[in-house]
Structure 1
Amino acid sequence: MCKILVLLLFSFCFFIVTNAIVCRDGFTLINNNKCIAFLPPYFDPGYSNSEYRCNWLGGNVVSIRTAIDNTAIAKLAINKGYLDKIWIGLKCWEDNNPDNCIWADQQGNASSYNNFQPGNPQTNNGSCVYMIPATGKWVSGDCDNVRFTVACETDIIGACTHKFGDYCYHPIVGGTNHDEALNICEQLCGGSLVSIHSPEENEYIRGYFIDPKITRIYIGAKMSNAATNYWSDDTDWDFVNFNHSNINDGLCYTMSTNDGKWNSINCGRSLPSICKWKASSSCQATCTGPKYREETGLITLLTSELSYNQYRGIPPCYYVLHVPNGLAAIWFNSLQLDPNSSIELYSGTSENSTLLANITQENQNDYYKSLTSSSQFIKLVSNQCNDNCDVTNDYSWSALFGPNYGASCGEVLYTRGVITSQNYPNNYPNNYNCTYYIQNPGGYFITIYFDHFETEENHDFVNVYDQKSGTLQYSFSGNCTQYLFGSEKSMRIEFTTDGRNTFSGWSAHIDLV
């Protein structure tokens, strides 16, 4: 017996292209350089909630750097019926000074282009910024107490979104050690940590990292000994910008975001970095990326939209999932593999990392559960069929990933995480009573996804209460796997069993959206 409220979530599927510039489903391409989607106001107010929803879709709140893009976004909003205020991805820290307004993608400020309404930015009204579609003007607004539509942008599939000269660049804002950064860059079109060959390129790279908390980043320079330096992509050593180089400090180099100078450092330090690859690389459109993902989100591969030849021709798709804080975890909410496909999961970024799982059609029903890495990383390798491929059926997979925090009986969970019945996956005890508390300090909408649920029907119950009112909202008993439901603010979850039969119990993932 299952009583559920199903939470409608956005599900964006990716598909394979060869040379086309396209957007993910649900997004609209503007000016051949941005993919835009508008998400209407959510349950709880505040810019941070809107930002999280864009991040969950693999993007950011939109950054606008030209008048042409600003006009296109305003017109698109009007055409889609979003006529009121719309969050854009800009925060300001000083009145009437766009130099101190930083974009959400951390790749510049609003000094080179802005469209503020006269008298703005006005930080007394709030540090966040919204657009008025009718005029395209930008206005300062309260970050915490209003509900606005948000404009999200994601990377274009099959295009180089950050380009300097003949090369593409991709910043890794979350910190990693040097070897992990190299592995991530390799997944991005066979790239490498950035090599730098001119003062102009050096300054271009420094300009990515405006956030004052980021003071230095890894670059692709390294020492083989005290007298020899080299670039990780084996290009010529034709430009240097050293501030300090000493083999005793470490073999790797960083760039200071303050002055662009390079300093030697221990390669094991955790720092942001930036990747680089040739813009003409054919791999840009061969997979369903984005192939490097940070924080938390949804990844998916839908094969049934492809022809036989397209599907058979797909190389393995690599995803590096990085959770800057805590251990990385992944759980599948859809797994329908064809007989000749598989998914490999590793607990790190290299080929020598521990194998967490090798999922095939034969064992896929065993993997509707959480898998937790021993590190901040999970590498997912999706191996597509190469011969005798069946695309007549709806084969696909979809997975959520994020940090794996948990709470035990009687504890409070303050963030995303996992809770389970006592002894899970082994049988829970008889005559047992346990209470879990989920507190939501950020005002997000709480969702609970049971990837396994098996109790004695009509005897052993999971009851979900609204913590503030004490009202019983849901009651679960029996077999209730793979359901998602939601609530606001805070919850109390009570698990009670009688003195008769016991079963394997349940595992639930808590998320905030």
Structure 2
Amino acid sequence: MWFLLIFSITFTNLIPQSSANDSFCPSGWSFSLNTSYCYTVSSDSYTWSEAVNYCQSIGGQLVNVRSGREYVFLTQLTSQNLLQPWLGYSRKSDGNFYDLTGYSAYYAYWAQGEPSGNGDCVTFQGQNNTGLRVTPCYNIQPALCKQMPALCPNTTQYGGTYTRSGVITSPGYPDQYYNNLDCLYYITSPPGTYITIEFSPWVVEYWYDYVFLFDGPDFTYPYIGEPLGLYGKNSFESSNNSLTFFFYTDSIITDKGWQATWTAKANTPPISQSGLNGSLTSDNYPNDYDSYTERIYYISTSFGFKINLTITDFITEANYDVLRVYNSSTVNDNYLVANLSGSSVAPWNYLSPSNYLTLKFTSDGSVQKQGWSLFWFMQ
């Protein structure tokens, strides 16, 4: 008795009594944020076998108590009931009680003095000596039903031929995601691109609630990884223009959830030049460059020499289509020399302190212009 009393008080203090968001459920049902199920007590009364059929006829099942959180919610839900409603447990040939899926009734949920020999079925008492009570199966009692609502987003397809970025959040974000989720998400981006995705913030029950990502249009494609928050990697990329992931949660603990920001990047190979001198232009120059361009240029010369670079022509959409110059052998923001855009850049000259430079040109999808031209030589 003392165990059940402490158990009930503890969970009552820690857990919200009910969720105001009953819109997930059919009319007349109540949603529990702590279990992510909808519940209802029938207005009519039935024998136990009739109650089983009744719950199934309205899209649910007789309740089986699977957690302390559910126990507390049911206590609150049925506290005003004059008749104890049926649960989905019955006594089997071994003398123990099992629910309709074969799980045994947990000992901590029985009322004091139970299970008794007073019948072969089970009701729930929500007041005074709360808990599961053995009841003759022929008794006439209300049915306590539950069903899993559709908590995953209606939209599962994101992106498309002309979409370059987006944001996806876990159900219920930023307040609290739900238990018992198994949600699928599909992202596609324009042809010739690949997808990068970052989960930030990532606040979920470690190990038991997770996202798995796959490199393709469904989860039969190669596994990419899973976000780990403070414990590891949270950014991923696909090898092509499609990416799939699913979000799974167990039945007991939830948290704030996650926000995933994805971006399509052009899958264009870099251009490398080395030697004594060379020249480079934006794609299609002197005609307009393409929208959503992303190309990297590597320039190198002999060790101990420098690179003298001169931009002779430069016309891009100011602030949005940008040529970045790095004093390094890779794209590294710590060695960024210049962000160049607009129509007043050329002529522009730069002498590198070392024997390599890296350039990166990116454009958005709105306005395309003539682009740029440059030459370089070893000095």
With normalisation by structure 2, the TM-score equals: 0.38
Structure of larger gyration radius: 2
The two structures have a TM-score, normalised by structure 1, of 0.29
